[in-house]
Chains A and B, each alone.
Chain A
């Protein structure tokens, strides 16, 4: 690149300015000024370039430091986002596990209730059938042994009516319990 030469007055003004105010030329312009034979101005240019390089070096170091800090911040931000995502997934998994546990508990409770009802029904039906069979046997025995069946016949008839009523009552209760359980689980889900 072709260098430029300054007029003598300009050179003197620049030298004076540096002496009076300590202000010098800066930047790339220094690299294209030809001081010619002017020794003082050549020293001026040399010193100004050295000062400029020193400032640039300092600025470069600071900029690099900021750049590194910036990179570290960005890395930390990425790490934070990764941890937040991990926590979110863990929380979701915990929620799912909680829901599963609650469902299992509900199923277990229902099973226990069902088993209890089943036992009650079995016992009740056993009693109903037992009493019915016993009364019928007594009635049949009375008939075949020519005993008076007036009383046992009425008792058998009444007993059978009561037992049938009770049997239907038990079946009704079971159906009611089942319906209530289904309604509860539907409203929960």
Chain B
């Protein structure tokens, strides 16, 4: 089970879907959902600058296009990895399955890409199986579709 998860997604309904799916699959006990990349970046910057570092989530799922934010999910992944101390399992969760975007995500340091659909649970289950290798940074980038 993952200690704590953060979901960054502009769609409130998906927050509920993700929360219920995580709970049903016993993925985590602690889930925080935020609606904008600015808000998430602010939180990570604060943890990086002032701590406590333990409050940071263990794993972060970021939507690709976050409406109402000043930058997209890939930029958030890049900032968390290269500006705010890294040390989290981070990836993209998006309805898009574009290879060009996935390449950009890899360059930004994303470890996985989960394609959103009605059947999100099987993908989350597969992700959970691979989670330890993501944590150890031994797993290659993988797309769950």
Residues of A contacting B26 in the complex (Cβ-Cβ under 8 angstroms): 31
* Residue ID in chain B nearest A27 by CB atoms: B23
Chain B residue numbers with a CB within 8 Å of A70 are: 13
Tell me the chain A residues, 60-75 only, with Cβ under 8 Å from chain B: 60, 63-64, 66-68, 70
Shortest A105–chain B CB gap in Å is: 51
A-B contacts counted at CB < 8 A amount to 35
Count residues on chain B whose CB falls below 8 Å from chain A CBs. Answer: 15
Query: In whole angstroms, how far apart are the Cα atoms of A59 and B29 in the complex?
Result: 18
Interface pair A67/B23, CB less than 8 Å apart: no
Task: Please tell me if B54 contacts chain A, counting CB pairs below 8 Å.
Answer: no
Determine if B130 is an interface residue (Cβ-Cβ < 8 Å).
no
Name A28's closest neighbour in chain B (CB-CB). Answer: B29
In the complex the two chains form, is B29's CB within 8 Å of A63's CB? no
The answer to whether the Cβ of B99 comes within 8 Å of any Cβ in the partner chain is: no
Residues of B that sit less than 8 Å from A by CB: 1, 3, 11, 13-14, 16-17, 20-21, 23-24, 26, 29-30, 118
B13 and A63 within 8 A (CB): yes
Q: Does A5 contact B (CB under 8 A)?
A: no
Q: Is the CB of B13 within 8 A of A66?
A: yes
Complex contact A60–B20 (CB within 8 A): yes
Q: Distance (Å) between the CB of A83 and the closest chain B CB? A: 23
CB-based contact A56/B29 at 8 Å: no
Please give me the 10 A-B residue pairs with the lowest Cβ-Cβ distance, nearest first.
A60-B20, A67-B13, A28-B29, A63-B16, A56-B20, A63-B17, A56-B24, A56-B23, A59-B20, A64-B118
Indicate if the CB atoms of B1 and A1 lie closer than 8 Å. yes
Compute how far the CA of A59 lies from the CA of B20 in the bound complex, rounded to whole angstroms: 8
Q: Which residues of B contact A1 (CB under 8 A)?
A: 1, 3, 29
A102 to B14, alpha carbons, bound, how many Å?
Answer: 56
Beyond the given pairs A1-B29, A60-B17, A66-B13, 10 more chain A to chain B contacts, judged by CB atoms under 8 angstroms and listed by A's residue number, are A1-B1, A31-B26, A31-B29, A32-B29, A57-B20, A60-B24, A63-B13, A63-B17, A68-B118, A70-B13
